[in-house]
């Protein structure tokens, strides 16, 4: 995720993203990596998968936030998304 402040003043953004949540014991979400810039406070709701964080950007500043995960499931299982 990349955000940019093209304003002439600093701005504060409330950001939200979501990762998958499994309701099956056979499916797990592993290796969650959430890498916001240093000093940014974050929250992860494990029940809903929601990630949230507040980010302040100076005028003209760009920040990147990296989110990654791995879905692990049995080889013979078919996954369906909505």
Residue-wise pLDDT for 13-22, tens only, equals 998 999 999 9
d(CA 74, CA 4): 40
Model confidence band, residue 65 (pLDDT cutoffs 50, 70, 90): confident
Which pLDDT value is given to residue 6?
Answer: 96
Q: Is the pLDDT of residue 75 over 70?
A: yes
What gap in Å lies between CA 61 and CA 82, rounded to an integer?
35
DSSP code for 24: S
Best CA proximity match to 27, nearest among 71, 61, 70, 63: 71
pLDDT tens track for 4-48: 999 999 999 998 999 999 988 999 999 888 887 777 878 889 899
Nearest to 48 by CA among 18, 24, 15, 82: 18
Beta bridge partners of 63: 3
């Amino acid at each position: 995720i990349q955000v940019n402040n093209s304003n002439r003043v600093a701005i504060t953004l409330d950001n939200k993203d979501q990762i998958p949540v499994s309701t099956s014991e056979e499916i797990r979400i592993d290796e969650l990596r959430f890498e916001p810039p240093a000093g940014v406070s974050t929250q992860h709701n494990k029940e809903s998968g929601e990630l949230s964080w507040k980010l302040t950007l100076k005028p003209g500043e760009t920040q990147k936030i990296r989110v990654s995960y791995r879905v692990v499931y049995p080889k013979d299982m078919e996954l369906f998304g909505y």
